[in-house]
Chain A
């Protein structure tokens, strides 16, 4: 970076200094000026075809496409000059002549760049008096529907499939005003990363079949969170309508997922809408689990575990904060922490740097390892007679009743109550799922990333860190934490890899932990 020449220029009267080679469009972002554009996307090769980003550059004979024009020393750029505005108004008019103007029934409405820029810079009327072109909707396969009438042929989707997914199953077919986005018969958009074309589409031409007609954009609440589908830790936005998650979309993070997320991650939202949730604390009375007050339930759990060696079977989707508190509980009882990891095939996105659906299909295996948890197969192999078993989160697939027999007592802290535990757990404490709480996760490269609460928890379920802090306190440990930030502070104070991290400083893009050998062994690519 030290060698990069810096260039000074003026955009809309604002001086800005950017590295040589930067496009005017990107430089304008630095100056706080948004130049309207369609075909340009920072994650894709420049196409320069929509001609929407035309700006006036002093001393240039013609308007310049700001996406494809690099900055020059002393350049003076006018984004909103009459000439530039007139040109963009022309582009908007052209884009709309054959557009059906069916915003009232279009999923993109409210988050459509054609709508937005037309409101901002377009004509109030159309001079188009001819018949509009009409073409049927086509199912591209996968989760993608193509509504050709709304397509502005920006080719973002084609470039994504060609250059990023590197499986060019989309093309521009025909030419002139007959052109459309096409595909070959029998070759559907089934690539595990194909869903990104829906996000990339600036208009309502490529739609998610799954999300179709579910909600209007303005009805959605959005929260920044982290995908728990694998250990990549893609930054995403969870979108909810009336406390129901309806969609997950990628949130740009150059260090992690750039602009993308995979189909597995996208489909993951359903898990957070489960209706079979435990909504109240339960305590076993005789053979039955009966509803209890929180205080009573935590006290009962503490009594049940007290004096025993505590084995913790933790979900590897738990936050760093929850895992840290568990680690305290384990230390307190000289116990042991174990976790399991679901695995699957790794599916890389070849055109993106170090991005893949990872074979570890859990979000925080790295955090668990850093905090002293170990992967044991079978997971309860280390259970000894008389141990207290603390199960946190759901990770019981394949376990049968006999596996739990050695435990003297079982405390289950979870979002649901699996059958195998319904008959065995002494105490059940309901917790939030990832979207219902805030916290941090550590991805496979050791990046600690915050996630925010996207929806409310059912019943009186409490954030995991909150429940564990209470339990730790009841067991006699230091558990006086009121926010996840406080837990994180304690974590960074006591755990060397996290030592330099500050909760607020993590921001929404996260920061890496200190180098740690436990991470290196995990790196698969």
Chain B
């Protein structure tokens, strides 16, 4: 399903994988430690379905993104349908429905950061990462850069999130150094 011109842009623009290391699943996701982790999580809720977001996190942590095949695995283990899982997955912007670079960089450009020059940071990131544009993955598979709505670190403009880590007070000038440290 593609999407036409949208005022607000997609959460993550679909980008075909550029030699990323992510593969379709060959081994089941919920086995061994991950199964134990999920079981522990499920024990905290009165319904299995409540473990859906955590289960998707387990998938994404293991595989780098959440494919339709992965959604099907999640659906099976939680006793819900793949369509249901997909509807939920696509609601949340942090689940990657497409493969992304090894370093997935989200730049906050919402108003508080915007007034402090976030757009320049975005430009610098796109330029120095070799991604070509927002949402695309760099040819070496290292980077994917996306704009993100408010990261909740408005006092430290511009915050960026690299996978699960925050880097605060990023400036266009500090971008090359930050990127060079990411292999």
Give the interface of A toward B (CB within 8 A).
131-136, 138, 148, 162, 167-178, 180, 182-187
Once the chains bind, are B6 and A135 in contact (CB under 8 Å)?
no
Interface secondary structure of B, over-half rule: loop
- Does any Cβ of A come within 8 Å of B90's Cβ? yes
Least distance between B9 CB and chain A CB atoms (Å): 8
Given contacts A135-B3, A184-B71, whether A173 and B8 have CB atoms under 8 Å apart is: no
Bound Cα distance from A417 to B26, whole angstroms: 59
Once the chains bind, are A182 and B7 in contact (CB under 8 Å)?
no
- Does any Cβ of A come within 8 Å of B80's Cβ? yes
User: In the complex, which residues of chain A have a beta carbon less than 8 angstroms from the beta carbon of B22?
Assistant: none
Bound Cα distance from A167 to B72, whole angstroms: 15
What residue of chain B has the Cβ atom nearest to residue A185's Cβ?
Answer: B68
Give the interface of B toward A (CB within 8 A).
1-8, 10-11, 68, 71-72, 75, 80-88, 90-91
Given contacts A135-B2, A138-B1, whether A183 and B83 have CB atoms under 8 Å apart is: yes
Given contacts A168-B83, A171-B83, A174-B90, whether A184 and B68 have CB atoms under 8 Å apart is: yes
User: In the complex, which residues of chain A have a beta carbon less than 8 angstroms from the beta carbon of B7?
Assistant: 177
What residue of chain A has the Cβ atom nearest to residue B87's Cβ?
Answer: A171
User: In the complex, which residues of chain B have a beta carbon less than 8 angstroms from the beta carbon of A136?
Assistant: 1-2
CB-contact partner of B1 in A134, A135, A172, under 8 A: A135
3 tightest A-B CB contacts, nearest first: A171-B87, A184-B82, A134-B4
User: In the complex, which residues of chain A have a beta carbon less than 8 angstroms from the beta carbon of B90?
Assistant: 173-175, 182
Interface secondary structure of A, over-half rule: loop
Given contacts A182-B86, A184-B85, whether A133 and B5 have CB atoms under 8 Å apart is: yes
Given contacts A175-B91, A178-B6, A178-B8, whether A184 and B83 have CB atoms under 8 Å apart is: yes
| Inter-chain residue pair count (beta carbon < 8 A) | 78
Please, could you name 14 A-B residue pairs with CB atoms under 8 Å apart, sorted by A?
A131-B4, A131-B5, A132-B4, A135-B3, A169-B83, A171-B86, A174-B90, A176-B8, A177-B6, A178-B8, A180-B3, A182-B83, A183-B83, A184-B81
Once the chains bind, are B72 and A174 in contact (CB under 8 Å)?
no
What residue of chain B has the Cβ atom nearest to residue A170's Cβ?
Answer: B83
User: In the complex, which residues of chain A have a beta carbon less than 8 angstroms from the beta carbon of B84?
Assistant: 162, 168, 171
Least distance between B24 CB and chain A CB atoms (Å): 12
Query: Which of the listed residues B3, B10, B82, B83 has the most CB atoms from chain A within 10 Å of its own CB?
Result: B83
User: In the complex, which residues of chain A have a beta carbon less than 8 angstroms from the beta carbon of B83?
Assistant: 168-171, 182-184, 187
Bound Cα distance from A475 to B84, whole angstroms: 65
Given contacts A184-B68, A187-B81, A187-B82, whether A172 and B87 have CB atoms under 8 Å apart is: yes
User: In the complex, which residues of chain B have a beta carbon less than 8 angstroms from the beta carbon of A172?
Assistant: 87
What residue of chain B has the Cβ atom nearest to residue A98's Cβ?
Answer: B4
Least distance between A64 CB and chain B CB atoms (Å): 27
Bound Cα distance from A186 to B91, whole angstroms: 21
Bound Cα distance from A469 to B88, whole angstroms: 63
User: In the complex, which residues of chain A have a beta carbon less than 8 angstroms from the beta carbon of B3?
Assistant: 133, 135, 174, 178, 180
Bound Cα distance from A132 to B5, whole angstroms: 8
What residue of chain B has the Cβ atom nearest to residue A184's Cβ?
Answer: B82
Given contacts A133-B6, A168-B84, A175-B91, whether A182 and B68 have CB atoms under 8 Å apart is: no
Query: Which of the listed residues A134, A177, A178, A186 has the most CB atoms from chain B within 10 Å of its own CB?
Result: A178
What residue of chain B has the Cβ atom nearest to residue A134's Cβ?
Answer: B4
User: In the complex, which residues of chain A have a beta carbon less than 8 angstroms from the beta carbon of B86?
Assistant: 171, 173, 182-184
CB-contact partner of B4 in A135, A169, A170, A182, under 8 A: A135
